Chains A and B, each alone.
Chain A
Amino acid sequence: MSNSSPPDRHRLGRRALVAAAATTFAMPATAATPDPAITTLPDWSQSLGDGVQAHPYGVPSPFEKHVIRRDVEWLTAGQQSSVNFTPIHALDGTITPNGLCFERHHSGVAAVDPDQHRLMIHGMVAKPVVLTMQDLKRLPRSNRIYFLECAANSGMEWRGAQLNGAQFTHGMIHNVQYTGVSLRSVFEALGIDPRAKWVMAEGADAAGLNRSIPLAKAMDDCMLAFAMNGEALRPEQGYPLRLVVPGWQGNMWVKWLRRLKIGDAPWETREETSKYTDLLADGRARRSTFVMDAKSVITSPSPQTAASPKGQMVISGIAWSGRGSVTRVDVSLDGGRNWQAARIDGPVQSLALVRFYADIDWNGQEMLLQSRAQDSTGYLQPSKNDLRKIRGVNSIYHNNGIQTWLLRGDGICENVEVS
């Protein structure tokens, strides 16, 4: 996929539309008294700060200490089989910092010694193999940016608005650059049996988490990744080795990957039968719903962000699709009755997250903020109500409906449902 943004003409057209929808910019305020932030010399401008090695591994400013992963205590039975959420409300751009990528573990974080880690590939293959991490790092490698979304992201919102924050409603997502080896390149050298159709991936954690992946997907774009955003995978993201399954539900991206077994049928594991199947209203369930549908959310303003002042405002959000690239994002200020094209800024790549903006002048009246993504296959993110008509409210997984934030007159947002 291309790294470049959409053609300029296209972008200018969108920008013009947004500008036309906005009213004239408010005049800047004038000051009556001098600003002490200017007239008083702060300590940091006079005395020496930390030396170079104060933080051998850098950490964010203490003023950003609220920008952390958070969990919802009542959601799960314990901390080891649980989930926390990326603070998307406080992030910008497209790349998620490694330390803020949401976590989902089934038996806690495996503390794997990379020198003791092995990847075994066997089953319906002519030449089964055992690989060390050193072996994997001697193979040709590539860099790819992909989003990873948990299939249960927004799963608590099926019956209605429940959690008051984008972090909690949409935070089971991250978008990072992976470095690793193409799975296809390895499989092609091993002599896969022509009757083989599935691959079981298994982790080295105490859940031994296992998923069946169609061989066709493995041969298309899966990766054996050992780095994220330029450094080794974080332990909570599968250090030292994770399977990357672009555009597909996060549960399949097996962490601490120790084994790939080639077979002719799916394994129907616990994670692909009792979990990660979508129960519909008639009592039957969809299975193998691997692809993540196009989805977007406004991250700012949102319920956890500071009160928005009247006047000039940046509406900022993220969009992604498991079927291709995001081709457009629209924003509504009136709960989905009228829409205006948002401006996508930054890289637009297949199966990666994009950042969008709508720059408006807010007069202080209540607004019902929504965003709506469309992808390169033409799929248009549906309203929650349209989604419920087909998927009911007991599906848990794959809630990609349009989110509504009520921006109140006091500048605070609330998670609401609309007709």
Chain B
Amino acid sequence: MTMLAAMCVNLSAAELPVGRPPLPAEIAAWDIDARPDGQGLPRGQGSVKQGETLYLERCAACHGEFGEGAGRWPELAGGVGTLAHERPFKTVGSYWPHATTAFDYIRRAMPFGQAQSLQSDEIYALVAFILNLNDIVKDDFVASQANLPTIKMPNAAGFYDDDRETAERGFWVATPCMTDCKPPARITGHASAVDVTPDSKTAPKME
């Protein structure tokens, strides 16, 4: 017995020496994620109309009646075609690549401060309404487990994997330049001119 206690534990050799298997009810209680291929989406459905009622009650105070955002809270609608503009407007409609992501996010995090208080049908209805605000689905649309993964989002093709190691290969340098690396530096801007540092007397107060 003493010898056993003194032996080193090699985890990779066998079972994890601690913990227990989760019960199906425990997995079900926590398994709230949903993927773009539909894995994880629960049974249920909700219409644009149902979503509108719920949205005005539970969401509009922060996100605005038309998804335009209140104060600094996130806007949800509009902005399609602005991503290459000087001031892009990123919303569910203009930027998000998958409708399922809205389901996953609302289910776990919304309403802000009342997380995981919505039923599956309510979440489907809210997603349907937000898609409708963005003109992605018609007024009579009913979102469901079956159709959410098939929704074509306007910016679905707008993303590509990290390519820094090729697109930015010029940043890998064998011998850094030490002398006369560029013409004499000129100052082109001062933070003090923008004047938004917290200590500044004139910093803008946002609502």
| Interface of A toward B, CB cutoff 8 Å | 70-74, 76-78, 80-81, 106-107, 120, 122, 127-132, 135-136, 138-140, 160-165, 168, 185-186, 188-190, 200, 202, 206-210, 258-259, 261, 263, 265-270, 273-274, 277, 279, 281-291, 293, 303, 328, 330, 334-340, 368, 372, 374, 377-382, 386, 390, 394, 404, 406, 414-419
Contact = CB atoms under 8 A, between A and B. Distances in A.
A129 B20 contact: yes
Interface residues of B, number: 88
Given A186-B16, A274-B95, A289 B30 contact: no
B64 interface: no
Contacts of B203: 73-74
B136 to A, nearest CB: 15
B92 A377 contact: no
Contacts of B17: 138-139
B181 to A, nearest CB: 6
Contact of A380 (B163, B173, B184, B186): B173
A107 B197 CA distance: 25
7 contacts: A107-B109, A130-B20, A185-B12, A210-B104, A283-B84, A286-B162, A406-B190
Contact of B160 (A74, A120, A286, A374): A286
B116 to A, nearest CB: 7
The DSSP consensus for interface residues of chain B is loop
The 10 closest A-B CB pairs, nearest first, are: A335-B185, A283-B84, A208-B108, A77-B72, A415-B191, A283-B83, A417-B189, A135-B18, A161-B191, A270-B105
A284 B21 CA distance: 43
Nearest to B8: A140
A127 B21 contact: yes
Nearest to B205: A74
B18 A107 contact: no
B33 A185 contact: no
Nearest to A71: B198
A129 B32 contact: no
Interface in B62-93: 62, 71-73, 83-84, 88, 90, 92
